[in-house]
Structure 1
């Protein structure tokens, strides 16, 4: 049985806790320096979250963020920075929406086809970066950033009416056409007709799959080992290039699912107003949650809370951009706090080793004295 390491647990909790406290304190300082009451906007946001409809919005948004963060976390565990989740998610949502609107199948098959197309599209787009990394040593950060830009341009071209898009009569919007009802994912209705996306629960279930694969399978061990030390993993027989390709493909496939809660649960089409920036928010959430499925869950709820609860700041006379400021400060606080905790952890480990060596030396000296 594995020995409980109290220091390791405390350090794991200290990073996110210090980041959140720092972020909220910095937010208050920024608001006070701007001549705004530093406490009241937070009270307004908490009051907003007490309404059932806002709670549903937060939960639905958290499901989307959770999938994006899982996609990022898979790359992180492999020591890869998949910064292209946003492009993978949007391209996958668009292509799957086109396929979903163009076919007619029985309900379960229709939904399964849309989901499969989304995963394949996301995996294909991230796989390009994986090939460049494994075969040519191209940094995945550079390639995925470029692929984000290419995805944006490609979507803008594909959604034109002369290609795959549809322009509703009397509207300036461009869409991919409506997915028939057979392709909608069932929602959970609560309260006064409020609907929680059914795919939100699929998202959280994938967190369990992520934990199991990473911690209870040989593949997960190989992935973590390669991320920790590529040379050591190769020495133990792991094909590092294959692991890079596989992890990028899986990361992209999960990224492709990030658009499914909204596409299958509400919009039923891809249009010009489909959310952007989800992938970049997923990076923040993965960092804050320390790539743990439970940590990511609470981080996704927090960021979703800030997103949806800050919308009510306008009516209270405050700028809703306060929520954006809070998110930005959380990113900065996460980076700084984790580095501080990491350095403290190294010093703490060195102290423990020193104490153990000193205790061993003292015991050895005592034994010699007794023998004499």
Structure 2
């Protein structure tokens, strides 16, 4: 049995507590500087966010955010910055919608086909960046950002009446998915929760298991900490880079599925964008931990939901964006401060133990 380490527990709790306190203080100062009452603002947010319809809205909003954070976190765990999740999930959802709209199969076949197509397209799109990195040493930040633009252009080309889309009023979208492609919902009051929240939970569990209980996860984390050490131990760094990008893209392919299979049932010009960039903030906020990212996604949804109510109360509409940014910065800074402090404490402890051993050795030599 491992010995209970009180100092380690204190440090683990210190980081989130420091981040919360700092975020509350800074946010309160910002709200007060705009002429608002921060305590009233928090009261409004809590009251509105605790309503049943708000809770359902928050969970539904957090589902794609969480999947996006998982996609980003896979790369983060080995120091790969997949900034292209936004483009990956959009092009994946587009082609999945095209394939799904062209097929009419039983639901237990139709839905898996659509999901597999989305994951395959997302993986291929992210895999291009991985291939460029290992073959031409192209930085993945640059390549994924450029692929976002290319993906948007590809969608724009095909999303035209007479090509892979059709026009309905002022909107252009892919053909509607058949009823068999409609994903199940969890009946709640007053509105249902997306059934895809179950898939998101399973994806989070798979992410945790793969990274913490498999050889692949160990190799991935090893490459993230030291490529040279991983190479020396027999791990193919290039293969891990491509594999990680493929997995990240496949996970990104799931991001648009809650909307495609549960809300719009097609891909149109009004399909949600920007979720990939939100996933970066949530992955940072959750420290790449599946539970932490789930809580961060719910917090993000809570802030977006209650932010609309703050506008009705006379607060500036930009205040929610400011709060989100402050929280992310406070979490990153707080964890870094605690990490450095913990490292210094550990070094001091090792130094004291070495000094004690040296004194003991000197006494033994003197007595001899």
> Which TM-score applies when normalising by structure 1?
0.94
Match of 1:295 among 292, 297, 320: 292
| Post-superposition offset of 1:11 | 3.4
Change (3 A) 1:32 1:64: same
Alignment of 1:197-216 (within 5 A): 197-216=194-213
Matched, 1:240 2:237: yes
| Post-superposition offset of 1:9 | 4.2
**Residue segments in structure 1 that go unaligned for 5+ positions in a row:** none
The 2-side partners of 1:20 and 1:102 are apart by 49
The 2-side partners of 1:234 and 1:121 are apart by 30
| SS of equivalent residue, structure 2 residue 172 | coil
- The question of whether the paired residues in 2 share the 8 Å contact of 1:16 and 1:288 is answered with no
Give the equivalent residue in structure 1 for 2:57. Answer: 57
- The question of whether the paired residues in 2 share the 8 Å contact of 1:27 and 1:329 is answered with yes
| Post-superposition offset of 1:157 | 2.0
Matched, 1:343 2:340: yes
Alignment of 1:309-324 (within 5 A): 309-324=306-321
Matched pairs, number? 368
Give the equivalent residue in structure 1 for 2:192. Answer: 195
The 1-side partners of 2:362 and 2:332 are apart by 45
Residue by residue, what CA displacement relative to the aligned partner does 1:173-227 show, whole Å, maximum 9, x if unpaired?
12112111100111101123x1111111110111111111111111111111111
Give the equivalent residue in structure 2 for 1:157. Answer: 157
| Post-superposition offset of 1:2 | 4.8
| Post-superposition offset of 1:154 | 2.0
The 1-side partners of 2:45 and 2:239 are apart by 47
- The question of whether the paired residues in 2 share the 8 Å contact of 1:107 and 1:183 is answered with yes
Change (3 A) 1:5 1:221: farther
Match of 1:353 among 350, 355, 359: 350
Give the equivalent residue in structure 1 for 2:77. Answer: 77
Give the equivalent residue in structure 2 for 1:120. Answer: 120
- The question of whether the paired residues in 1 share the 8 Å contact of 2:285 and 2:332 is answered with no
| Post-superposition offset of 1:8 | 4.0
Residue by residue, what CA displacement relative to the aligned partner does 1:69-113 show, whole Å, maximum 9, x if unpaired?
011110011111111111111111111111111110000110001
**Residue segments in structure 2 that go unaligned for 5+ positions in a row:** none
| Post-superposition offset of 1:3 | 4.8
Change (3 A) 1:354 1:286: same
Give the equivalent residue in structure 1 for 2:35. Answer: 35
| Post-superposition offset of 1:368 | 3.5
Give the alignment's Cα RMSD to 1 decimal: 1.6
The 2-side partners of 1:64 and 1:242 are apart by 28
Residue by residue, what CA displacement relative to the aligned partner does 1:17-62 show, whole Å, maximum 9, x if unpaired?
3233322221111111111112212211111111111100111111
Change (3 A) 1:290 1:118: same
Give the equivalent residue in structure 2 for 1:11. Answer: 11
Give the equivalent residue in structure 2 for 1:277. Answer: 274
| Post-superposition offset of 1:149 | 1.7
| SS of equivalent residue, structure 2 residue 187 | strand
The 2-side partners of 1:133 and 1:304 are apart by 34
Give the equivalent residue in structure 1 for 2:227. Answer: 230
- The question of whether the paired residues in 2 share the 8 Å contact of 1:16 and 1:289 is answered with no
